[in-house]
Copies of this chain bind each other. A is one copy, B any other.
Amino acid sequence: MGAERTDMAAGGTSRRALLAMIGTVAGSAAMYHAMTRLGFAADSTYRGLPNLQGAPPGSTVLVLGAGLAGLTAALELRKAGYQVEVLEYQQRAGGRNWTLRGGDIVTELGGGVQHVGFDAGQYVNPGPWRIPYHHAAVLDTCRRHNVALEPFIQVNNNALLHNSRAFGGKPVRWREIQADFQGHVAELLGKVTNAGALDGSVSKDDKELLLEALRQWGALDRNMAYVANRASSERRGYASPPGGGIAGAPRFSDPLSREDVLDSRLWVWLAEAFIYEFQTTMFQPVGGMDAIGKALFAALGPEAIRFGRKVTEIRQDADGVRVVHVDAAQGGEALTSTAQWCVCTIPLTVLSQTQIDCSPALRAAIDAVPYFSVVKAGLQFKRRFWEEDDGIFGGISYTDLPITSISYPSHGAFSGGKAVLQGAYAWENPASYALTSLDPAERVRQIVEHGAALHPQYLHEYENGVAVAWHRVPWTLGCAGNWSDEARRDHYADLCALDNRLILAGEHASYLPAWQEGAILSALDAIERLHRRVMGG
């Protein structure tokens, strides 16, 4: 049954037939699209890899750090004709593009050691864990290097929202707060609109449209009231949902009162569904985020990277760059690497403790950016109780407890058996510092303890866990650059500027801090400028 046969059977639905008539029908919309191209044009600054070419024979670059920025820079510079040497503190490539699995050992500042006890196939991404659809550079990296992706579930309407001081400490469903907040807002605005409060500012036609919109969008009844009925239950869920046969008559649920919704402050979480970086559709690499770093490392080849090297000095003069580095584990004898140019992707937290020959402006920029404090945990449970008992498949529950959130795996739904969820994601709040201050065992214990307030099944199902406190990670000393508006105004251009033979790259040298996209785009921007300088531009 070939395509030709089908087109004939369908009678003129072939492309040829379409071409003849589409102009008249689609009209100006088609013209508009043809000219502007929707999509990445507006969603990303990424325009594909830069086509760098023609580096003078013998050109050399030292790349410091083998995270996504360093790996990207090294690969593209080598393509352009540079000899590249990469120095990396860890014994692995990827940097914060990192996945923990059973058998891994996490050693942190302070001496704490965690032996990851997950079963085979289980993992947690302690660093980046999700890829927005508009992070085109990351997605294109995955495409070029055959990193398989699967959907990442960010928003789950059936996940829990929990404030230990609201609703008697009981979690409620996201959909309940979402529907009820929206319903009450629509009802309030509908009432004052009907009472004429907007008559001066909204036209009569728009007033009618607004009322119609509020009624539908807010699930209001004919009297513009948000009450227990089919409309509101079709948003917030039913007391007893529609079923089959005689037994299936639904019972509507009672909305939470406006006062209870407002007082609960659980509406603070609703915006998580609207934020540009969290919008559908998000992705994750199949099997763990580190698939990206591994793929880039495989493309670069092991001979290009020296692992286990801690950079202690970055020296430069008119002739070149000289980097001093020691064995990362034991200190030991210093070695020196030299090159004509240097791309440095070392986190600013570490770099600010490093001796560098650079302008005072760059030094000030390096010292100006604090790093986010983040604690993330992976917990293994005997079974997927969040799916089996609670109907939560992927997505995130939020709480005012120090763990901040519980994130359920987007993969392996219905697979039965053990599973790992992300049991904490404390981000730049007092709790993240408090959890960081604990030794790992106590940190995990408290994370499990808090999670049980949302899921008492923790009691019976918990097996083992690991909690990474990013300020204690020796090779980054923090999660990501936390730029204030003031710091960016005063220092960002200096941080990104080519300083003689040295240029910085990494998520900290981007407007997308903490995102892998920022790291890659920063690297591409840096090497383009570096190459232009090399070529005499």
Judge whether A182 is part of the interface by a CB distance below 8 angstroms: yes
Q: CB distance B456 to A511 under 8 Å?
A: no
Contacts of A456 in B (CB 8 A): 22, 26, 29-30, 33-34
> In the complex, given contacts A3-B463, A15-B460, what are 4 additional A-B residue pairs having Cβ atoms less than 8 angstroms apart?
A242-B511, A244-B517, A245-B496, A247-B525
Q: Which of these, B5, B13, B203, B265, contacts A448 with CB under 8 Å? A: B13
Q: Return the CB mask of A214-236 against B: 1 if under 8 Å, else 0.
A: 10110100000000000001111
Q: CB distance B244 to A389 under 8 Å?
A: no
CB distance from A248 to the nearest CB of B (A): 4
Judge whether A359 is part of the interface by a CB distance below 8 angstroms: no
The chain B residue sitting closest to A179, CB to CB, is: B274
CB distance from A111 to the nearest CB of B (A): 13
Judge whether A2 is part of the interface by a CB distance below 8 angstroms: yes
Contacts of A522 in B (CB 8 A): 244-245, 248
Residues 449-463 of A at the B interface (beta carbon under 8 Å): 449-450, 452-463
Judge whether A479 is part of the interface by a CB distance below 8 angstroms: no
Contacts of A279 in B (CB 8 A): 157-158, 175
Contacts of A9 in B (CB 8 A): 113-115, 117, 440-441
Count of this chain's copies in the oligomeric assembly:
2
CB distance from A260 to the nearest CB of B (A): 10
Closest 9 CB pairs of A and B: A11-B441, A6-B117, A244-B521, A245-B525, A242-B511, A244-B522, A157-B279, A45-B243, A39-B390
| Cα of A389 to Cα of B442 in the assembled complex, Å | 49
CB distance from A177 to the nearest CB of B (A): 11
Q: Return the CB mask of A430-454 against B: 1 if under 8 Å, else 0.
A: 0000000001111011001110111
Question: Known contacts A33-B455, A175-B276, A522-B245; is A464 also within 8 Å of B18 by CB?
Answer: no
Judge whether A318 is part of the interface by a CB distance below 8 angstroms: no
Residues 274-332 of A at the B interface (beta carbon under 8 Å): 274-277, 279-281, 283
Judge whether A465 is part of the interface by a CB distance below 8 angstroms: yes
Question: Known contacts A15-B462, A281-B394; is A449 also within 8 Å of B525 by CB?
Answer: no
Judge whether A89 is part of the interface by a CB distance below 8 angstroms: no
Q: Which of these, B1, B240, B281, B440, contacts A153 with CB under 8 Å? A: B281
- Selecting from A51-59, A164-172, A350-358, A362-370, the interface stretch reads A164-172
CB distance from A250 to the nearest CB of B (A): 6
CB distance from A287 to the nearest CB of B (A): 16
10 A–B contacts from the bound complex (CB under 8 Å): A10-B441, A11-B442, A11-B445, A37-B389, A43-B158, A181-B213, A243-B511, A243-B512, A245-B505, A248-B510
Judge whether A482 is part of the interface by a CB distance below 8 angstroms: no
Question: Known contacts A213-B262, A259-B206, A280-B156; is A248 also within 8 Å of B394 by CB?
Answer: no
| Cα of A182 to Cα of B263 in the assembled complex, Å | 21
Q: CB distance B270 to A217 under 8 Å?
A: yes
Q: CB distance B237 to A28 under 8 Å?
A: no
Q: CB distance A19 to B248 under 8 Å?
A: no
| Cα of A463 to Cα of B5 in the assembled complex, Å | 12
Contacts of A6 in B (CB 8 A): 114-117, 464
Contacts of A281 in B (CB 8 A): 153, 156, 158, 393-395, 413
CB distance from A190 to the nearest CB of B (A): 10
Residues 183-224 of A at the B interface (beta carbon under 8 Å): 185-186, 188-189, 191-193, 195, 197-198, 201-203, 206, 209-210, 213-214, 216-217, 219
Q: CB distance A22 to B452 under 8 Å?
A: yes
Q: CB distance B198 to A149 under 8 Å?
A: no
CB distance from A229 to the nearest CB of B (A): 12
Judge whether A484 is part of the interface by a CB distance below 8 angstroms: no
Contacts of A243 in B (CB 8 A): 44-46, 510-512, 518, 521, 525
CB distance from A8 to the nearest CB of B (A): 9
Judge whether A63 is part of the interface by a CB distance below 8 angstroms: no
| Cα of A494 to Cα of B275 in the assembled complex, Å | 49
Question: Known contacts A10-B444, A33-B455, A263-B209; is A391 also within 8 Å of B5 by CB?
Answer: no
Q: CB distance A168 to B28 under 8 Å?
A: yes
Contacts of A201 in B (CB 8 A): 188, 191
| Cα of A243 to Cα of B526 in the assembled complex, Å | 12
Judge whether A110 is part of the interface by a CB distance below 8 angstroms: no
Q: Return the CB mask of A21-43 against B: 1 if under 8 Å, else 0.
A: 11001111110111001111011
Contacts of A524 in B (CB 8 A): 244-245
